[in-house]
Chains A and B, each alone.
Chain A
Amino acid sequence: MARYLLRRLAALVPTLILVSMLVFGLQQLLPGDPATILAGEDQDPNVVAYLRQKLHLDQPLPVRYLYWAGGVLRGDLGESLRVQKPVTELVLEKLPVTVQLASMAMLIAIVIGVTAGVVSAVKKDTAWDYAANVFALWGLSTPNFWLGILLILLFAVRLGWLPASGYVSPFEDLKGNLAAMIMPAFVLGNAFAAVLMRHTRSAMLQVLSADYVRTARAKGLSERVVILKHALRNALVPVITLGALGFGELLGGTVLTESVFTIPGFGKLVVDAVFNRDYQVVQGVVLVTASAYILLNLLADLAYFFVNPRMRG
């Protein structure tokens, strides 16, 4: 176990270094002098001079990268020129909102996706299977910002059941928080539910034709026990890995969802930074998201290691 963990951790190092190079490289895409562009529309000469010194623009590219990477290792992701705050502080401020949204979306996706996948596999080639497949295609093809607008129209404007936008902290008003987050969470989780449905269905179909399921049936166990205890438990092994990776994708999807529902999270931070040309914030967010994704990937591998007895050997 320790050897496996060490090997996986060692494999992360080159990936993290390359991700940091990629994120640093984004700055090189800016046309012209980065300091002038990063200083924004005002291009205050003092700000330009400060940036030139802070970003070490008089140094060669590899040296600049080392300065930047050194800062990142100390937790310094740069400074937002618009809000005049460290990017790390901004990210940490917004992250809990996004993590709540992504967690709720994941829960909704698991409930809908796994249930639909199981039903679809058990009732293969029936109307249930057909309906579940149509649902998956629908989920994969619907742009979530459009779905968000349609749900706002129905549940906020027409029926008046839920707020159209905004955010309340769960520590202030839990009921209000859930009311504000349920629609965005459904919108965000919808596409991932479709992905989970397809994977669960395919894994269940494979497991249902396995010898041990046939044996369980031959022993006279009820169909419910066969499906839930013998088939589903084994079919969920690959789905766990997918779930951890999907969480990273959901973090990326929050950009649009938070923009539609005006939720002050991580995604909205990126959009505002893009509009304000606050490039250091954009870089910081990409780096944090990619690092979170790599970490989730590692956790998925470890979870797979624990739940799959064959890997533990």
Chain B
Amino acid sequence: MAAVLVSEFQEETPARRALRRLIRRRGALFGLGIVAFFIFVALLAPWLAPYDPLATSWSAVRKAPSALYLFGSDEIGRDVLSRVIWGTRASLLAGVVSVSIALSLGLPVGLLAGYRGGWTDALISRATDAMLACPFLILAIALAAFLGPSLSNAMIAIGISATPIFIRLTRAQVLAAKVEDYVEAARALGNPPLRIALRHILPNVVPPLIVQATLAIAAAVIAEASLSFLGLGQQPPAPSWGSMLNTAKNYVDQAPWMAFWPGLSIFLLVLSFNMLGDGLRDALDPRHR
């Protein structure tokens, strides 16, 4: 019996161990559930939305929630529920795409800085410091303003603004990993630097990046909503939670439901990514057990 247990323990891969730890955390599971729910809503938006999100109706201007309009209607008679459902796509897309941009820029640059060291590292580190000196939202707003208002430009702006965090994190992880015995061994065996960086160092710096990426998606969702709220993201009449809130702020006293539902959706999506990120950090980092 003991032998079987020992053998099972030895066979458990790091990924499986992390998954087992993640499943034990109720907060993380709750987060994962809500994220899955929003992905489901985004994918099935055409079938789930009761109305066309762009269809206006002058006989249904600012109608309170009812059986006909579950979340009420907006200032030009559009169904708020349908717009919230379709708006999920913009938020999720912005979160995932901007973090993918940040990762695909930050990971190779951080790897290069950490592995090469010397002048390359000094130059990349100073450039990263300069970018980090600009508050995330101010930089994203400035980039979006200069690139022009659109959802894709907002995603690029958020992605670029989030890049320095990934550069710094990857660099720090590479600096720690490159002095480990297994890297020394790979070097002693005559592996070329590129192979060592990609095959031996990279897999070991991935776990903290996964945690950071999950938390960065939460920040990116808020950033996209903020840019759309300021008119720099998704352009009207296309539905987006941020732009819905921008319109809703003018009707707070007459139609509070216009602000309530899109705001609640942003809150829930961001909360779920934060909870999932916290759970992943606990599951992947032994110090947080």
- Mark A241-280 against chain B: 1 for CB-CB distance below 8 A, else 0: 0000000110111011001100000000011011100010
Nearest chain B CB to A101 CB, angstrom units: 15
Which residues from chain B contact A30 at a C-beta distance below 8 Å? 146
Give the residue name and chain of the A residue nearest to B260 (CB).
A150
Interface SS of A by simple majority: helix
- B133 part of interface (Cβ distance < 8 Å): yes
| Given contacts A143-B226, A149-B259, A153-B253, A26 and B143 within 8 Å (CB-CB) | yes
CB of A293 within 8 A of chain B? yes
Contacts of A200 in B (CB 8 A): none
B138 interfacial by beta-carbon distance below 8 Å:
yes
Number of interchain pairs (Cβ within 8 Å) = 136
CB-contact partner of A143 in B142, B143, B266, under 8 A: B266
Contacting residues, chain B, for A259 (C-beta < 8 A): 229-230
A294 to chain B, nearest CB (A): 5
CB within 8 A of A145: which of B138, B229, B271? B229
Check if A22 is an interface residue, CB within 8 A of chain B. Answer: yes
Partner of B129, one of A15, A31, A149, A286: A15
Q: Which residues of A contact B225 (CB under 8 A)?
A: 143, 145
Residue B190 is within 8 A (CB to CB) of chain A in the complex:
no
Question: What is the bound-complex CA distance between A283 and B145, given in angstroms?
Answer: 10
Verify if A208 is at the interface (C-beta below 8 Å from B): no
Closest Cβ of chain A to B28, distance in Å, is 12
Question: Quick check: is B102 within 8 A (CB to CB) of the other chain?
Answer: no
Query: Which residues from chain A contact B77 at a C-beta distance below 8 Å?
Result: none
Choose, from B13-21, B50-58, B195-203, B244-252, the stretch at the interface: B244-252
Known: A27-B146, A31-B148, A146-B245. A255 touches B137 (CB 8 A): yes
**A249: which B residues are within 8 A, CB to CB?**
135-136
Residue among B143, B218, B252 making CB contact with A29, cutoff 8 Å: B143
Q: Which residues of A contact B (CB under 8 A)?
A: 14-15, 18-19, 21-22, 26-27, 29-31, 137-138, 140-143, 145-146, 149-150, 152-153, 157, 164, 248-249, 251-253, 255-256, 259-260, 270-271, 273-275, 279, 282-283, 285-286, 289-291, 293-294, 297
